[in-house]
Structure 1
Amino acid sequence: MKKQVCYIIFLFMTNILVFYCQSFKMMTYNIRLDIESDGENRWELRKDFFVSQIDFFNPDVFGVQEALPNQIKDIESGLKKYTVIGLGRENGNTGESSSIFFKTEKFQLIEQNTFWLSETPEKVSRGWDAACNRVCTYVLLKDKKSKTNFYVFNTHLDHMGEIARKNSVKLILDKIKQINKSNLPLVLLGDFNLLPSDERIQMIKKEMLDSRDVSEKEPFGSEGTFNGFNYNKPATERIDYIFLLNNNKLKVNKYAVFNESKNLKYASDHFPVYAELKIEK
């Protein structure tokens, strides 16, 4: 009888801990668009390794950048436990997307949208001095077990437009304030095409936390996230990030940049950035 009572108490306390400290595995990954000129690094030759890599790390939520529609379909086909949300940046839902994948069994989709990084974010458009159309996709998810709600924003800033990157950061931060009126836990991830010392990254860090900076465990892996498919050269440029809204509701257990290879080849010209997060209530 005493053993049964102890077991019931243990289960009760375990459920309380799960409810008050819910953990999630997050990842951001620029997958490199499918382009024939990549030759031996083209998508057709690396997609199986890419999908198996994601499957092994098993993130609860992950965002991709540069993903063309056929690449999204390949990932969906290989990872059936996820739901994907996102729009292509060109007319007719074509072109690259900054899509978000989440585990279907674990989360309920409450809200979703995509906006363009431009003066007219509600429609397909190119902003300021950008070389390309750019988008930000976001979702509001509810954890089915803990009933916790949280936002995930995923974006890819322009690689050339200096004004565009600055204004895109301002737009995203403004949108976060407009959308997240309840001050829920929120994650902003993606490829920002900016180094940590850049003033535009510092703009973000005035309102958000860099998961690498606040990880409880020492960051694992390389600091750089862009490898350029160059296996023989260290990756030193850090341009991919996972930021947290600074409202004391999200903590970082672990942070890592994974640099696995297969037959001296990488799955993308970027490394995946991983963070294990916990939401405290």
Structure 2
Amino acid sequence: MQIKSLLFGLVAAEAAMASLPLRVVTWNIRYAASSLEQGEKPWFDIFCWATKSRCRQYKFYDKLNQIVSSTPNGAPMVIGMQEVLDNQLNDIQNSLGDGWAHIGVGRDDGKKAGEYSPIFYQTSQLRVLASETKWLSPTPDSVSFGWGAGSRRIVTTAVFEHIATGEKFIHANTHLDNVSAQARSEGIKVVLTRIQAARVAFGPLPVSLTGDFNSAPYADAFKTLADTGFMKGELYDLATPAQHAGPYTTTYTTFREGAGESRIDFIWLGAAQNYPYSVVKYEIWDHTVDGMRVSDHRPVVGDVILQ
């Protein structure tokens, strides 16, 4: 009986050690526009040197730091961002500091032109085993538009390994088109193809997917992905009422108070078969600092345990 109890304790301890807490974030940061929308503050301009409070950049850092510093103790973190221009990428990287790195390329030339959909991660916690950026089009290996899209669209995919435990997982980040429903639905199929390709190469690893889908829950791309049955689901739905935190239920807000809002930014978890995650908390964060909306989207933060 004592031997059985000892063995059970060892097995339970091993299972507990294998559990990896993880924070997953998606945030469309709003590109640094030269023509501002109503209520929008510039990301940065020459006047910001004298009056930092007039620009989004520094307030954005404050909010990002709140998200990072509130991460459960010891949990690695991956942040999928959208609408990031090259200057913003460098600004954010410098703000996060040497303990962070990013992957991704600009969508308009595969280098630095146009918006990135980058993934930021902590180098002390995670190493990248493989990464790629593909275009959401019939020719994903080349810079291209797909299915009537108003802009080139991409997916950034990485295979991560947790340095301390050796646990591996796949994370993908994307920004679907705002013009063409067909581009969104076909584009998410490309995203899924790239995730599945990573699983072919590295085995049936856990998957997280972040992105601005530019469509409502259960519509076009969301429905297309759900109908495949490959992913377990979107974190908003996977979380129980007790696991939902904060007062917000929408993510896209514009910069104007009182404008219509919607939920178009998602965190998906999978795969459905041998589903490896348990949910700790889901929260749509406030995106204001000192009364300024630092983006026209709220960040979405998910705390999960990879088992």
- TM-score when scaled to structure 2? 0.82
- TM-score when scaled to structure 1? 0.90
- Matched with 1:32 is 30
Output the amino acid matched with 1:253.
V
* Equivalent in 120, 125, 139 of residue 144 of structure 2: 125
Output the amino acid matched with 2:58.
D
* Number of aligned residues: 268
- Matched with 2:48 is none
Output the amino acid matched with 1:268.
S
Output the amino acid matched with 2:134.
F
The answer to whether the 8 A contact 1:224-1:235 is kept is no
Matches within 5 A, 1:169-184: 169-181=188-200, 182-184=203-205
Output the amino acid matched with 2:291.
L
Distance 2:93 2:264 in 1: 26
The answer to whether the 8 A contact 1:130-1:164 is kept is yes
Secondary structure of 2:292's counterpart equals coil
- Residue 128 to residue 27, structure 1, CA distance change in 2 (3 Å): same
Secondary structure of 2:88's counterpart equals helix
- Matched with 2:177 is 158
Which range moved further: 61-70 or 85-94? 85-94
Instruction: Using the TM superposition, give the Cα deviation of residue 175 of structure 1 relative to its aligned residue in structure 2, in angstroms.
Output: 2.2
Instruction: Using the TM superposition, give the Cα deviation of residue 166 of structure 1 relative to its aligned residue in structure 2, in angstroms.
Output: 1.2
Matches within 5 A, 1:1-281: 16=14, 19-38=17-36, 40-44=40-44, 45-58=55-68, 60-80=77-97, 81-91=99-109, 92-181=111-200, 182-205=203-226, 206-208=229-231, 209-216=233-240, 217-220=242-245, 221-230=247-256, 232-233=257-258, 236-245=261-270, 246-247=272-273, 248-280=275-307
Deviation digits for residues 216-258 of structure 1, max 9, x if unmatched?
433223111001012x227630000000112311222110000
Deviation digits for residues 113-166 of structure 1, max 9, x if unmatched?
000001110111111100110000011110011110001000000000121111
Output the amino acid matched with 1:152.
H
Secondary structure of 2:145's counterpart equals coil
The answer to whether the 8 A contact 1:225-1:235 is kept is no
- Residue 235 to residue 16, structure 1, CA distance change in 2 (3 Å): farther
Which range moved further: 171-180 or 82-91? 171-180
Percent identity of equivalent pairs: 29
The answer to whether the 8 A contact 1:223-1:236 is kept is no
Find runs of 4+ consecutive structure 1 residues off by over 4 angstroms.
12-15
Distance 1:13 1:233 in 2: 54
Distance 2:66 2:250 in 1: 22
Output the amino acid matched with 1:26.
V
Distance 2:306 2:259 in 1: 34
Distance 1:156 1:49 in 2: 23
- Residue 95 to residue 260, structure 1, CA distance change in 2 (3 Å): closer
Output the amino acid matched with 2:252.
F
Output the amino acid matched with 1:43.
W
CA RMSD of aligned residues (A): 1.9
Unpaired stretches in structure 2, ≥5 consecutive residues: 1-9, 45-54, 72-76
